[in-house]
């Protein structure tokens, strides 16, 4: 089950129009597209951890690991690998959650 915020800020019709425009220029593929062509698509899909955004929910255990990890400015490989194994996610996920924790947009999900 995915715990990240909904992508309610994305205008999906506009996003599809942008993707189809790029695909039309490259034989129904975005693979050969340049970074310049893809930039508007990436900008639209980007989700920033800003104070006004919906809060991202994590389990209590994940919150504790993220909280402890965020307190230390520099980590050893062993600390990083330990945190990743406890969370069950990759470093990109951990990095986003640490940023959200520092921005105050991370919260513990309600246990039902």
User: Which whole number is the average pLDDT over 16-32?
Assistant: 88
User: Which whole number is the average pLDDT over 32-52?
Assistant: 75
The residue written with tokens 């994940």 in the block is 62
The answer to whether 49 touches 103, Cβ cutoff 8 Å, is: yes
Distance in angstroms (rounded) separating the CA atoms of residues 89 and 56:
15
- Say what the pLDDT of residue 50 is: 56
Same domain for 70 and 95?
A: yes
Domain boundaries, position 31:
12-45
Mean pLDDT, the chain, whole residue set: 82
67-96 confidence digits (pLDDT tens) = 999 888 888 899 899 999 999 888 888 988
Same domain for 64 and 104?
A: yes
Same domain for 30 and 62?
A: no
Model confidence pTM above 0.85: no
Percent over 90 (pLDDT), the chain: 21
């Amino acid at each position: 089950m995915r715990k990240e915020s909904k992508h309610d800020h994305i205008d999906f019709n506009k996003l599809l129009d942008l993707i189809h425009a790029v695909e039309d220029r490259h034989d129904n593929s975005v693979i050969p597209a340049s970074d310049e062509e893809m930039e508007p698509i990436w900008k639209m899909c980007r989700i920033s951890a800003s104070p006004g955004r919906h809060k991202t929910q994590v389990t209590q255990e994940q919150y504790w690991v993220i909280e402890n990890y965020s307190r230390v400015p520099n980590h050893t490989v062993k600390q990083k690998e330990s945190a990743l194994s406890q969370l069950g996610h990759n470093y990109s996920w951990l990095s986003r959650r640490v940023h959200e924790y520092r921005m105050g947009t991370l919260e513990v999900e309600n246990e039902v």
